[in-house]
Amino acid sequence: MDQKKFYITTPIYYPSDKLHIGHTYCTVAADTMARYKRMTGYDVMFLTGTDEHGQKIETKANEAGVTPKEFVDRIVEGERGVLDLWKLMNISNDRFIRTTDDYHCESVQKIFKKMYEKGDIYKGAYKGKYCTPCESFWTESQLVDGKCPDCGRDVHDAEEEAYFFKLSKYADRVQHLLEDTDFLQPRTRVNEMVNNFIKPGLEDLCVSRTSFSWGIPVDFDPGHVVYVWVDALFNYPTALGFLNDKYHDYEHYWPADVHFVGKEIVRFHSIIWPAMLMSMEMPLPKHVYGHGWLVIDGGKMSKSKGNVVDPYVLAEMFGVDALRFFLLRTFPFGTDGNFSNELLIGTINTDLANKLGNLVSRTTGMVEKYFGGTLPATHEDDPMDCELKKMASTLRERYEAEMEKFQFQNALEEIFKVIDRANKYIDETTPWTLGKDESRRDRLAAVLYNLLETVRICTTLMQPMMPETCAKIFDKIGANCESCRSWDKANVWGTLCADVTVQKGENLFPRVDFEKALAELNAMQEAQKKAALPAIELEPYAEENVDFDTFCKSDFRAVKIKNCEAVKKSDKLLKFTLDDGSGTDRIILSGIHKWYEPETLIGKTAVAIINLPPRKMMGIMSNGMLISAVHTEKGEEKLNLLLVDDAIPAGAKLC
């Protein structure tokens, strides 16, 4: 019989910035699904990659002073780039596509031409609001207060020659696909697509650009580049060798079984993508799954807010498997999930350290303590074991049902119900009491064997989520052969040898010091937020003019700082004794202690306005004001006392 095939994809990511925990979430989910399918005997193709064309990348490269290709190479292949991240996260993709790869570009040109020759792509005029400095078209609804959303400048009506795809032609077929089949999941996303996009009327889609050049050229019309989404979506079949010679398994794997995509790109995948495939007369993917976002305090992560969560930091602090587990265990895949450090540490401690880690270490520890590491072959069963045995040996079925629906959280929930039951079973059977009674050795052996079998089954099913940890657990519990780690044996009770040998070894998941880890993460995130603040912020410029005569009334003088000391009982004030050239010392108080140690200013030449009315502060009269320059740097107020050339004599007027 032919092996069953499974083709799964993640979105291909824009390498315009480093990837964050949100991208990691989708990729870990797809990896889990791919590993699960491989475990259940499928021939799996798992594809991920990067979407490297478009104006956004071109602009960023220009800003960085490098070519677009150099720019994306750095983010994809560079240190801690996309490839490094997937390696770190133990992502088992079979293929990685970059849309700048020659074979992909070649296929996209052929695809574009094919749709053009068919009449589904035609030449027309793109009308919109144009921002000349940004070289960008905007629709009315994208404008902010009628201005360019990027630079805030005026826009004007403009027209540009462009190619269009006849999306409208496929509207009915796409609507039927969404409403009458399970193509788009979860089902809740269907209404949004149909009501918001299809019913109001699908307009033909502009599929070429002439305002920038970083894209795949339309080979029969120089000057036009293919719209980045057309280029990107077709990665799924080109990566299999569709219309290119790089690979040869398009026939084998296409159509995809599922595309995992984030909710904001469901529209592209559930409307534009099937319509273009219909035009190309290619089979449609079986499912598109629109997952939710990881949000922070209910809002989107963003570089400008400085709240983007770096998967490297978390994986280094807690371990890759703990992070993978957290992402899958905590958030339902179809809806948004609120990420927090508290939740992360809490989940690691509760589920991994207390429940799973403890079960494994207590069980193997007791086998070592009472039997020197190897169970005796004779076991005495008891009816009280039935519930645990039944729960564990039927777990595979419940797990499978959830995994087939991409419900990783529920699949793990089912596993943890069994882990909880096993921990309770320890309390019920009290092996430490049995261990004291020589006549109960066979009973104790049965209890520990039942626990090891439960651990084996749960571990088998957790392999897709935590591959490395599960391999370690298998080693600990003596599940040494391929077969006893297999899917086929995950519903067969009694798979481990009766006289199995275990090795407790090190703790799998040491408890995380909650307060310490939280403080560390919070401090890092504070620093990141600070780094995201503008480098320098200036005080707003005065809107009102001051008339010349008024200005001239202000008497600015160079002053020599004869003495400077802190004012008692004040954190802020410094008391300056100044030579203003008049022969009498002038006292000025200034609230700049935060920025200066008084003794460092003695002997310097500063500037003071001397005809302000005298003011009493902390019981001392201040006669004038020293002039400082102020600005904000990374959110922090900075001040520099205005110091001038010491060659300027005391009392010289500034005008």
Should residue 54 be labelled a site residue for ligand ME8 when binding is judged by CB under 6 A? Answer: no
Query: Taking the complex as a whole, how short is the minimal distance between the CB of residue 373 and ligand ME8, in angstroms?
Result: 45
* Structure tokens belonging to residue 206: 């502009």
Should residue 265 be labelled a site residue for ligand ME8 when binding is judged by CB under 6 A? Answer: yes
* Structure tokens belonging to residue 98: 């970059």
Is the Cβ of residue 23 or residue 396 nearer to ligand ME8 in the bound state? 23
Query: Taking the complex as a whole, how short is the minimal distance between the CB of residue 54 and ligand ME8, in angstroms?
Result: 9
Choose the stretch contacting ligand ME8; rule: CB under 6 A; options: 12-20, 146-154, 461-469, 647-655.
12-20
Phi, psi dihedrals of residue 581, rounded to the nearest 5°: 85, -10
Which of 105, 294, 353, 403 binds ligand ME8 (CB under 6 A)? It is 294
Phi, psi dihedrals of residue 186, rounded to the nearest 5°: -65, 160
Query: Taking the complex as a whole, how short is the minimal distance between the CB of residue 56 and ligand ME8, in angstroms?
Result: 9
Should residue 392 be labelled a site residue for ligand ME8 when binding is judged by CB under 6 A? Answer: no
- Under a CB-based contact definition with an 8 Å cutoff, are residues 28 and 324 in contact? yes
Choose the stretch contacting ligand ME8; rule: CB under 6 A; options: 8-16, 415-423, 424-432, 624-632.
8-16
Identity of the residue numbered 2: D
The C-alpha atoms of residue 186 and residue 167 are separated, in whole angstroms, by 24
Which of 203, 264, 382, 646 binds ligand ME8 (CB under 6 A)? It is 264
- Under a CB-based contact definition with an 8 Å cutoff, are residues 291 and 319 in contact? no
Query: Taking the complex as a whole, how short is the minimal distance between the CB of residue 295 and ligand ME8, in angstroms?
Result: 6
| Residue closest to ligand ME8 when measured from CB atoms | 262
Say whether 338 sits in a helix, a strand or coil: strand
Which of 233, 258, 574, 592 binds ligand ME8 (CB under 6 A)? It is 233
Query: Taking the complex as a whole, how short is the minimal distance between the CB of residue 239 and ligand ME8, in angstroms?
Result: 11
Should residue 13 be labelled a site residue for ligand ME8 when binding is judged by CB under 6 A? Answer: yes
Query: Taking the complex as a whole, how short is the minimal distance between the CB of residue 237 and ligand ME8, in angstroms?
Result: 11
Should residue 227 be labelled a site residue for ligand ME8 when binding is judged by CB under 6 A? Answer: no
- Under a CB-based contact definition with an 8 Å cutoff, are residues 512 and 349 in contact? yes
* Structure tokens belonging to residue 319: 């371990």
Q: Sign (positive/negative) of CA torsion 519, 520, 521, 522?
A: positive
Query: Taking the complex as a whole, how short is the minimal distance between the CB of residue 12 and ligand ME8, in angstroms?
Result: 5
Strand partners, 125: 161
- Under a CB-based contact definition with an 8 Å cutoff, are residues 415 and 461 in contact? yes
Should residue 293 be labelled a site residue for ligand ME8 when binding is judged by CB under 6 A? Answer: yes
Is the Cβ of residue 154 or residue 264 nearer to ligand ME8 in the bound state? 264
Residues 297-326, interacting with ligand ME8 (CB under 6 A): 301
Should residue 261 be labelled a site residue for ligand ME8 when binding is judged by CB under 6 A? Answer: yes
Identify the CA nearest to 256 among candidates 269, 265, 271, 275: 269
Identity of the residue numbered 149: P
Query: Taking the complex as a whole, how short is the minimal distance between the CB of residue 528 and ligand ME8, in angstroms?
Result: 16
Query: Taking the complex as a whole, how short is the minimal distance between the CB of residue 277 and ligand ME8, in angstroms?
Result: 13
Q: Where does 463-600 show beta strands of DSSP type E?
A: 536-537, 556-566, 574-579, 585-590
Choose the stretch contacting ligand ME8; rule: CB under 6 A; options: 227-235, 275-283, 444-452, 513-521.
227-235
CA atoms within 13 A on the CB side of 563: 8
Query: Taking the complex as a whole, how short is the minimal distance between the CB of residue 349 and ligand ME8, in angstroms?
Result: 24
Strand partners, 96: 48
Should residue 242 be labelled a site residue for ligand ME8 when binding is judged by CB under 6 A? Answer: no
Residues in contact with ligand ME8, total (CB under 6 A)?
19
The C-alpha atoms of residue 436 and residue 381 are separated, in whole angstroms, by 18
Choose the stretch contacting ligand ME8; rule: CB under 6 A; options: 7-15, 239-247, 310-318, 520-528.
7-15
Choose the stretch contacting ligand ME8; rule: CB under 6 A; options: 261-269, 352-360, 449-457, 502-510.
261-269
Choose the stretch contacting ligand ME8; rule: CB under 6 A; options: 132-140, 228-236, 402-410, 470-478.
228-236
Identify the CA nearest to 450 among candidates 363, 370, 514, 513: 363
Identity of the residue numbered 419: I
**Terminal alpha carbon distance of the chain:** 96
Query: Taking the complex as a whole, how short is the minimal distance between the CB of residue 286 and ligand ME8, in angstroms?
Result: 17
Is the Cβ of residue 338 or residue 632 nearer to ligand ME8 in the bound state? 338
* Structure tokens belonging to residue 535: 């480098």
Say whether 352 sits in a helix, a strand or coil: helix
The C-alpha atoms of residue 145 and residue 274 are separated, in whole angstroms, by 35
- Under a CB-based contact definition with an 8 Å cutoff, are residues 41 and 1 in contact? no
Residues 19-48, interacting with ligand ME8 (CB under 6 A): 22-23, 25-26
Should residue 7 be labelled a site residue for ligand ME8 when binding is judged by CB under 6 A? Answer: no
Strands 628-633 and 636-641: antiparallel
Choose the stretch contacting ligand ME8; rule: CB under 6 A; options: 9-17, 350-358, 511-519, 533-541.
9-17
Query: Taking the complex as a whole, how short is the minimal distance between the CB of residue 654 and ligand ME8, in angstroms?
Result: 55
Residue 551: is it exposed, middle or buried by C-beta count within 10 angstroms (0-12/13-18/19+)?
exposed
Identify the CA nearest to 18 among candidates 63, 80, 60: 80
Binding mask 473-492 for ligand ME8 (x = CB under 6 A): --------------------
Query: Taking the complex as a whole, how short is the minimal distance between the CB of residue 192 and ligand ME8, in angstroms?
Result: 15
Should residue 451 be labelled a site residue for ligand ME8 when binding is judged by CB under 6 A? Answer: no
Strand partners, 158: 128
> How would you list the strands of the sheet with 287-291, edge to edge?
95-98, 43-50, 5-13, 258-262, 287-291, 184-185
Query: Taking the complex as a whole, how short is the minimal distance between the CB of residue 372 and ligand ME8, in angstroms?
Result: 49
Is the Cβ of residue 13 or residue 165 nearer to ligand ME8 in the bound state? 13
CA of residue 286 relative to chain centroid, distance: 27
Should residue 331 be labelled a site residue for ligand ME8 when binding is judged by CB under 6 A? Answer: no
Query: Taking the complex as a whole, how short is the minimal distance between the CB of residue 451 and ligand ME8, in angstroms?
Result: 37
Identify the CA nearest to 133 among candidates 115, 150, 145, 157: 150
Is the Cβ of residue 236 or residue 399 nearer to ligand ME8 in the bound state? 236
Q: Nearest 10 degrees: CA dihedral of 60, 62, 68, 74?
A: -60
- Under a CB-based contact definition with an 8 Å cutoff, are residues 231 and 215 in contact? yes
Query: Taking the complex as a whole, how short is the minimal distance between the CB of residue 52 and ligand ME8, in angstroms?
Result: 9
Identify the CA nearest to 517 among candidates 276, 340, 391, 291: 340
Is the Cβ of residue 209 or residue 504 nearer to ligand ME8 in the bound state? 209
Should residue 14 be labelled a site residue for ligand ME8 when binding is judged by CB under 6 A? Answer: yes
Look at the chain and count its residues. Answer: 655
Is the Cβ of residue 185 or residue 429 nearer to ligand ME8 in the bound state? 185
Which residues make up the interface to ligand ME8 (CB under 6 A)? 11-14, 22-23, 25-26, 51, 232-233, 235, 261-262, 264-265, 293-294, 301
